[in-house]
Structure 1
Amino acid sequence: MKPIIQLQLLILLFFMQACAPEQQTAGKDTIQEYPVTTIEHQEAVINTEYPATLEGQQNIEIRPKIDGFVGQIFVDEGAAVKKGQLLFRINAPQYEQEVRTAAAAIKNAEAEVNTAKMQVEKTLPLVKEGIISDYELKSANFNLHAKEAVLAQARAGLINARTNLGYTAISSPADGVVGSIPYKTGSLVSSTSAQPLTTVSNIARVFAYFSFNEKQFLDFTEGFAGKNMNDKLKHFPAVSLLLANGTEYAEKGHMESIGGLINTETGAVNLRAGFSNPDGTIRSGASATIRIPVKVKNALLIPAKATYEMQEKLMAVVVNKNGMVKVTEIEIMDIPSGEFYVVKKGLNAGDWVVTEGMGGLTDGTRIKPVLSQQLTAAKK
């Protein structure tokens, strides 16, 4: 029996030795592959994006200056109008009556002036002949001046009455587009009404209003030449506008102004960019996203998808040539971008970073890095 047992042991030992390389190979095959990319210094243009509110160059509330009823409406909501075009007519018959009253007052005043002139003409020769004293002539002249003042006042009253009557016809003060019309024909309106009759928006040119926080503002302006902010504005690149449906607006815009104050509550600096709007595609009050190209030199770029947040810190996973990973905190330039971040601290040129699936990796984990193409997507 012993020779048989020894033979069986030898066969078992031989079988275990034969299977050992396959087991080792199988163990190696369990190391998971992860895509990585190399971080290198390069010059690039990064598109930074900020939410913006769009306003026309003029948004004019149309309000009545007099009390009355809406008699006629000559335009419809959304209509394009020209400066001076008639929009509304207010039915206010009291102002027509004031014109007639003022005109009658003028005729009465003119008659009294003529009577006073006749009295002066009658008194003058009598004074020259010494029949009556100078007092009578002076009194007649004073009366004439008083009547002339009444006439002037009556004429001013007619002008005011005609002005008020003119307020019954309301015309557009500028070229633009008519907004909503809350009051319909027959509605009682006045200068103190809660809502305007409508709004005329001049949208031949529109402005995009957005804001930087203080840190973004300082980082952003440091990259442009100029002794003062007006000089720096001249060096700002042309900016783009993404409309609410995600399409890029055809016209390029330019930075025009930067607010002089930092909001103490929000820490924001307000900025404005202007865009021409020849086709009226953009309407006042719309929302959009403004895209600003930022040129960075000698920058370390990391794809946004290769980072994740942990306890309000931005992290990246660095892998060495042996496949060992290390979770690293990084600091980036505070300019929001949808694709890439500019690394200020935490990574060095030549580092490999995992670009996908790094959320479950911890320090010391061994992976099989699969090197992808070097970052060039942001370079222009």
Structure 2
Amino acid sequence: MKNFSIVSIFALLIVASCGKKEEQQMPPQGPVPFPVQTITKQDAVVYQEYTANLEGQQNVEIRAKVNGFIQKIYVDEGQVVRKGQLLFKLETQTLNQDASAAKAAVQAAQVEVDRLKPLVDRKIISNVQLETAKARLAQAKSNYGSIAANIGYGTIVSPVNGVIGSLPFREGSLVSATSEMPLTTVSDTKIVRAYFSMNEKQLLFFNKTFKGATTAEKLKASPEVSLLLVDGSEYDQKGRIATMNGLVNPQTGTTQFRAEFKNPEGILRSGSSGIIRLPIEQKDVMLVPQNAIFEVQGKKMIYVVGEGNKVKSKIVEVNGTSELNYIVTSGLSEGDVVVIEGASKLKDDTEIVPQPAKAETPAPAETPAVAKDTAKTNNTPAKK
């Protein structure tokens, strides 16, 4: 009997302890707090991004005008050169010999003219013979001048200020005026040009956004652009769009643009690449934190707080980003209250305790029209 009572007491204690654990593990009942935000319309800056190829303001190919062996190379790859600086010296010994022969021919023709002139003056011979001798002298001088010019072409100087490119030939190499490869390229990179393209939809948006009757007026009305370098950093000099091709390429359906950037410290190099960022200021748009929007079967959705603080999911359409926000173009109305965090924990008709989110202090703007952010639209023109 005693044994039975002891066993019963142990059983009751075990049941009681299990009940307490179950009570401790039960989740709290009632609505859970979630941060929310009331939708208001405001201004935003959106960046459209375009892949660009960079080139110096002048890329001059240096080629030989005469045939000859490279006698001396006076520069090295990457060297900064000035206009008129000596670059190459070609061996011109054969031309020198031709020049000596041509000079002798000039002297002989001059002697003949000098001999005939007094004879003509005394009317011993006709003037026709003298004129013929003068023509031969002029031809000899022209031939000599051409050879002398070719000798001068053996000394090759830089036509512009710039940076030396690759040097595919070495001293002793035979080069000619018909060589497919240039001796080098001199690139003037004080001003660097960034070439990029817009498709027809982007071009139409550009023309509608920036007012002007002519292309020049539209380009003047467009804002300064920035340049993202290959390491992801932003170049410290702003640029402007300088030209826009007047025609759409029928094969690619694109139009080429050219932006120009100053390059005082030589950071940009011809032949490299980057990303042009064109800021577009949009008025009265709805901004929603990116964390508030989730995707279901490829559609972007958000939870809106309704009557009784119950949430309902809605499909929204967005058009790019501004800072850490989506720009919502449809699906929401001004004054809607949306859940901005914890959407994965919710489902339709879940009751919550709305907690207004704390407003974040915006970053200071660099210019009146362009804020310092990383907004982008993946090359898709913003809807107005």
Bucket of the pairwise TM-score, normalised by the shorter protein: 0.7 to 0.9
Q: CA deviation at 1:318?
A: 3.5
Asked whether the equivalents of residues 209 and 270 of structure 1 are also in contact (C-alpha less than 8 Å), the reply is: yes
Take 1:121 and 1:337, find their aligned partners in 2: how far apart are those partners?
94
For residue 134 of structure 1, what is the aligned residue in structure 2? none
Take 2:345 and 2:66, find their aligned partners in 1: how far apart are those partners?
71
Amino acid paired to 2:208? E
Take 2:108 and 2:131, find their aligned partners in 1: how far apart are those partners?
15
Amino acid paired to 1:77? E
How many residue pairs are counted as aligned between the two chains?
342
- 1:164-201 Cα offsets, whole Å, 9 max, x none, are 11111110000000011111111111122232111100
Equivalent in 322, 328, 331 of residue 346 of structure 1: 331
3-state DSSP class of the match of 2:187?
strand
For residue 159 of structure 1, what is the aligned residue in structure 2? 145
Q: CA deviation at 1:330?
A: 1.0
Gap change, CA 1:269 and 1:105, over 3 Å in 2: same
Q: CA deviation at 1:161?
A: 0.5
- 1:93-126 Cα offsets, whole Å, 9 max, x none, are 22112211110110111122123223313435xx
For residue 285 of structure 1, what is the aligned residue in structure 2? 271
Gap change, CA 1:282 and 1:357, over 3 Å in 2: farther
For residue 60 of structure 2, what is the aligned residue in structure 1? 60
User: Aligned runs of 1:308-319 on 2, under 5 Å?
Assistant: 315-319=300-304
Q: CA deviation at 1:141?
A: 1.0
3-state DSSP class of the match of 1:96?
helix
Take 2:340 and 2:255, find their aligned partners in 1: how far apart are those partners?
34
For residue 127 of structure 1, what is the aligned residue in structure 2? none
3-state DSSP class of the match of 1:44?
strand
3-state DSSP class of the match of 1:273?
strand
Equivalent in 164, 177, 187 of residue 201 of structure 1: 187
For residue 177 of structure 1, what is the aligned residue in structure 2? 163
Take 2:271 and 2:102, find their aligned partners in 1: how far apart are those partners?
45
- 1:274-315 Cα offsets, whole Å, 9 max, x none, are 11112212111111222222211111234455556777x652
Residue 104 (str. 1) matches residue 88 (str. 2)? no
Take 2:187 and 2:345, find their aligned partners in 1: how far apart are those partners?
54
Residue 233 (str. 1) matches residue 229 (str. 2)? no
Take 1:237 and 1:284, find their aligned partners in 2: how far apart are those partners?
24
Asked whether the equivalents of residues 177 and 200 of structure 1 are also in contact (C-alpha less than 8 Å), the reply is: yes
Residue 325 (str. 1) matches residue 321 (str. 2)? no
For residue 141 of structure 1, what is the aligned residue in structure 2? 127
RMSD of the TM alignment (CA)? Answer: 3.2
For residue 261 of structure 2, what is the aligned residue in structure 1? 275
Amino acid paired to 1:58? Q
3-state DSSP class of the match of 1:123?
coil
Asked whether the equivalents of residues 49 and 337 of structure 1 are also in contact (C-alpha less than 8 Å), the reply is: no
Asked whether the equivalents of residues 203 and 255 of structure 2 are also in contact (C-alpha less than 8 Å), the reply is: yes
Gap change, CA 1:338 and 1:298, over 3 Å in 2: closer
Amino acid paired to 1:46? V
3-state DSSP class of the match of 2:189?
strand
Take 2:132 and 2:296, find their aligned partners in 1: how far apart are those partners?
89
Equivalent in 258, 264, 286 of residue 244 of structure 2: 258
Q: CA deviation at 1:365?
A: 6.6
Q: CA deviation at 1:270?
A: 1.8
For residue 85 of structure 1, what is the aligned residue in structure 2? 85
Take 1:241 and 1:192, find their aligned partners in 2: how far apart are those partners?
39
Gap change, CA 1:112 and 1:227, over 3 Å in 2: same
Take 1:341 and 1:163, find their aligned partners in 2: how far apart are those partners?
67
Q: What is the percentage of aligned positions where both structures have the same residue?
A: 42
Take 2:342 and 2:92, find their aligned partners in 1: how far apart are those partners?
74
Asked whether the equivalents of residues 52 and 210 of structure 1 are also in contact (C-alpha less than 8 Å), the reply is: yes
Amino acid paired to 1:320? V
Gap change, CA 1:273 and 1:167, over 3 Å in 2: same
Q: CA deviation at 1:226?
A: 2.4
3-state DSSP class of the match of 2:27?
helix
Q: CA deviation at 1:82?
A: 0.4
The farther-off stretch of 320-329 and 177-186 is: 320-329
Amino acid paired to 2:330? K
Asked whether the equivalents of residues 88 and 170 of structure 1 are also in contact (C-alpha less than 8 Å), the reply is: yes
Q: For the pair shown, which has the larger CA radius of gyration, 1 or 2?
A: 1
Gap change, CA 1:336 and 1:326, over 3 Å in 2: closer
For residue 76 of structure 1, what is the aligned residue in structure 2? 76
Gap change, CA 1:36 and 1:211, over 3 Å in 2: farther
